[in-house]
Structure 1
């Protein structure tokens, strides 16, 4: 235990701001509690973007911490960024048309969002 805000860490004395440390520990505890029950997809994305769960996002917090997506979320984010790599999905026999490659990518993207329980609107700016 150090004195007057100093702490011996790995053989070096480091200045510790007790108020900031307390604040950060409370944030970690809140994140840990939320993670145990499962974070909704949108909250996980907010954390990855650097927005805290309690909206008190202090930019100084980003100087020392890093949040990395786990394997499942990293895969989902990759699929959202590059829908061309998604599994081939057929819109079904009810569709009496041949889809162009960009339309097939749109169907795969909509299917991914449906799997995630998200809504979407895919619009065509050519008025078709």
Structure 2
């Protein structure tokens, strides 16, 4: 909040008043970042080619491109999660939702590679 307040030229109180809480700017930032990333990645598999492997490579290439464009400090969701591990925090749902979406995207692409392979039950 200190950095946001300093960069925007307003007080932390003004930010909290505008957003309703000190957590809400984080939620808004992460939600916007999630939407941008989904938009960036979602169309890549369909545009890649006819081979299921092309879709996987397209998402991985797009992820690399995203990282190059948006900095090399890692995933903003993972980074936020290191400081927000309470499931009751309003940003936690955004973080978990983005990770679930990414897992579903990659799982779907992987199943296209081996559609008859048994599903993994989640254990080691």
**Larger RCO (CA under 8 A, 6+ residues apart):** 2
TM-score range, shorter chain: 0.3 to 0.5
Q: TM-score, normalised by structure 1?
A: 0.33
Tell me which structure has the larger Cα radius of gyration. Answer: 1
Which structure is higher in strand share?
1
Higher helix share: 2
Structure 2-normalised TM-score? 0.34
